[in-house]
């Protein structure tokens, strides 16, 4: 089969690789039907985030099961969402919901993001993927949901959800502020998830007009960020999401949180040291969360929200392209591309 390999910034190559085969009763082999470009993929492809190639690329996918072991919990023909992080569902970390740091795999065990010869688990831009612990990993695609619409659920939609969904369950009707930017689609998804989860007010701030329009399409109020105009938003918010990835935006986010607010920073801050106004955070009783999403743990809630018609992630997708065009399209600056075979 063919698989797309990232070699170095600006350079990809389709390679002929062996078809994966079942190795355990709980394994499944799946064929990707729709693969979304993760926000991080753009930065790997363009060298903003340096990752050494070569490795198989693509990690957000909806797929069809084509082979399954007797204890895989799925059958050929079934459509499933494949979380980007590999996890077992059985260890202490998984049982606590930390499926992004499963004890059964080395740290950062992901599809499509490399990690070395023994930890390249294959990529989604390929003919097939090998899924271990499929009985836990694979989440059935709800009936009537378009694989192209939810291809990003594996990672970025789940990432947006985790920053607002559980928080709103604890504080129904709370106000939500999202500061968009670097993690382009995650910020927009977070705004849409907040609307879908019944937030009182959802304000999306971003200097990019295109992203603002997509957040508005998901039901959020959208306005320019205009960081220079002030040290914080014009009012304070219960729940804040920082997807901008800059120190200025993080400080703005902290100062825009109300008493006992919760701020989740979903962007990867690339600078090794980020100044944080921690004293201000302390006095407002702020809870500051920063970590990779535990995507598998949030998928049922995310897919439930989409299946019942409250969240429309397709409004974030700006382009649908064929697998054959993936290498050329990877540096497209827009917020979300979905590739189909
Ligand atoms: Zn990702
Ligand atoms: Zn585990």
Q: In this predicted model, what pLDDT tens digit does every residue of 86-120 receive, in sequence order?
A: 999 999 999 999 999 999 999 999 999 998 767 78
Judge residue 160's burial from the number of C-beta atoms within 10 Å of its C-beta, 0-12 exposed, 13-18 middle, 19 or more buried: buried
Q: Over the stretch 166-179, which tens digit does the pLDDT of each residue have?
A: 999 999 999 999 99
What residue ranges do the domains of the chain occupy?
2-155+295-340, 158-290
Task: Answer yes or no: same fold for 2-155+295-340 and 158-290.
Answer: no
**Beta strand 79-82 with 139-140: parallel, antiparallel or unpaired?**
antiparallel
Q: How much distance in Å is there from the Cα of 109 to the middle of ligand 1?
A: 12
Give the pLDDT of residue 58. Answer: 98
Ligand nearest the Cα of residue 41 is 1
Cis-peptide, bond into residue 214, ω within 30° of zero: no
Minimal CA–CA distance to 91: which of 106, 100, 102? 102
159 Cα–ligand 1 center, Å: 9
Q: For residue 266, report the distance from its CA to the centre of ligand 1, in Å.
A: 11
Residue 229: pLDDT band with limits 50, 70, 90 = low
Nearest-ligand number for the alpha carbon of 158 = 1
Asked if residues 137 and 87 have their Cβ atoms less than 8 Å apart, the reply is yes
Mapping DSSP to helix (H, G, I), strand (E, B) and coil, where does residue 15 land?
strand
Ligand 1 center to 282 CA (angstroms) = 31
Q: Which of 132, 137, 105 is nearest to 23 (CA)?
A: 132
CA of 123 to the centre of ligand 1 (A): 12
User: Six-digit token pair at 275?
Assistant: 């100044």
279 sits in which H/E element: helix 278-283
Q: How many Å lie between the centroid of ligand 1 and the Cα of residue 233?
A: 29
Tell me how far the alpha carbon of residue 106 lies from the centroid of ligand 2, in angstroms. Answer: 11
pLDDT at position 323 is 98
For residue 277, count CB atoms less than 10 angstroms from its CB and return exposed for 0-12, middle for 13-18, buried for 19 or more.
Answer: middle
Share of the chain above pLDDT 90, in %: 95
Q: Which ligand is nearest to the CA of 185?
A: 1
Residue 328 is predicted with a pLDDT of 96
Q: Which tokens go with 140?
A: 């059935």
Considering every ligand atom, which ligand is closest to the CA of 92? 2
Average pLDDT, the chain: 96
| Residues pairing with 339 in the sheet | 35, 321
- Report the interhelical angle of 184-196 vs 295-307 (nearest 10°): 50
Which ligand lies nearest the alpha carbon of 59?
A: 1
C-alpha of residue 98 to centroid of ligand 2, in Å: 8
87 C-alpha to ligand 2 centroid (Å): 5
Residue 54 predicted with pLDDT over 70: yes
How far apart, in whole angstroms, are the C-alpha atoms of residue 121 and residue 123?
7
Neighbours of 144 (CB within 10 A): 7
The rounded Å distance from CA 92 to ligand 2 centre is 7
Mean pLDDT of the region 144-148: 97
Ligand nearest to the CA of 137: 2
Are 215 and 239 in contact, with CB atoms under 8 Å apart?
no
| Mean pLDDT across 46-75 | 97
Question: Positive or negative CA dihedral for 79, 84, 86, 92?
Answer: negative
Give residue 303's Cα distance to chain centre: 13
**What is the Å distance from ligand 1's center to 14 Cα?**
20
Residue 329 has pLDDT above 90, yes or no: yes
Over residues 64-74, the mean pLDDT reads: 98
CATH code, 2-155+295-340: 3.90.180.10
Q: pLDDT of 273-291, one tens digit each? A: 999 999 999 999 999 999 9
Query: In sequence order, which residues have a C-beta less than 8 Å from that of residue 25 and are 6 or more positions away?
Result: 69, 70, 71, 72
The closest ligand to the CA of 95 turns out to be 2
Task: Quickly list H helices, 229-312.
Answer: 247-255, 278-283, 295-307
Cα(292) to centroid(ligand 1), Å: 9
Report whether 127 contacts 19 (CB < 8 A).
yes
Band of residue 230 on the pLDDT scale cut at 50, 70, 90: low
DSSP character at residue 124: S
Give the CA distances from residue 157 to residues 39, 151, 172, 185, 251, in Å, rounded to whole numbers and listed in that order.
11, 9, 20, 8, 24
Ligand nearest 40 Cα, by number?
A: 1
Looking at CATH, the fold of the domain delimited by 158-290 is given as Rossmann fold (3.40.50)
Structure tokens, 142 = 């709800």
| Residue 177 and residue 237 in contact, taking contact as beta carbons nearer than 8 Å | yes
Distance 81 CA to ligand 2 centre (A): 18
Considering every ligand atom shown, identify the ligand nearest to the alpha carbon of residue 49 and give its number. 1
Mean pLDDT, to the nearest integer, of 210-225?
97
């Amino acid at each position: 089969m063919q698989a797309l390999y990232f070699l170095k910034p600006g350079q990809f190559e389709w390679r002929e690789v062996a078809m994966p085969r079942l190795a355990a009763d709980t394994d499944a082999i799946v064929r990707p039907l729709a693969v979304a470009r993760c926000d991080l993929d753009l930065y790997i492809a363009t060298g903003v985030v340096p990752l050494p190639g070569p490795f198989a690329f693509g990690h957000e996918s909806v797929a069809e099961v084509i082979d399954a072991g007797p204890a895989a919990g799925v059958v050929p023909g079934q459509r499933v969402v494949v979380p980007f992080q590999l996890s077992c569902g059985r260890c202490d970390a998984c049982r606590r919901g930390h499926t992004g740091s499963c004890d059964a795999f080395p740290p950062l065990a992901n599809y499509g993001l490399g990690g070395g010869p023994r930890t390249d688990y294959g990529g989604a831009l390929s003919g097939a993927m090998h899924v271990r612990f499929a009985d836990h990993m694979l989440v059935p695609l709800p009936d009537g949901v378009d694989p192209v619409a939810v291809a990003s659920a594996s990672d970025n939609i789940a990432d947006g959800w985790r920053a607002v969904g559980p928080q709103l369950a604890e504080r129904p009707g709370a106000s939500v502020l999202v500061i968009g930017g670097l993690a382009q689609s995650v910020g927009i998804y977070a705004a849409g998830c907040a609307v879908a989860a019944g937030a009182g007010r959802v304000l999306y701030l971003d200097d990019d007009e295109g992203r603002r329009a997509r957040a508005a399409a998901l039901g959020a109020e959208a306005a320019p960020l205009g960081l220079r105009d002030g040290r914080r938003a014009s009012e304070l918010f219960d729940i804040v999401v920082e997807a901008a990835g800059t120190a200025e935006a993080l400080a703005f986010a902290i100062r825009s949180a109300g008493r006992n607010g919760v701020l989740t920073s979903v962007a990867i801050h690339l600078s090794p040291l980020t100044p944080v106004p921690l004293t201000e955070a302390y006095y407002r009783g702020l809870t500051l969360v920063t970590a990779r999403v535990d995507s598998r743990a949030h998928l049922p809630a995310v897919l439930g929200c989409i299946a019942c018609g409250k969240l429309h992630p397709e409004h974030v997708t700006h382009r649908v392209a064929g697998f054959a065009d993936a290498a050329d399209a990877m540096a497209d600056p827009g917020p979300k591309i979905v590739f189909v075979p």
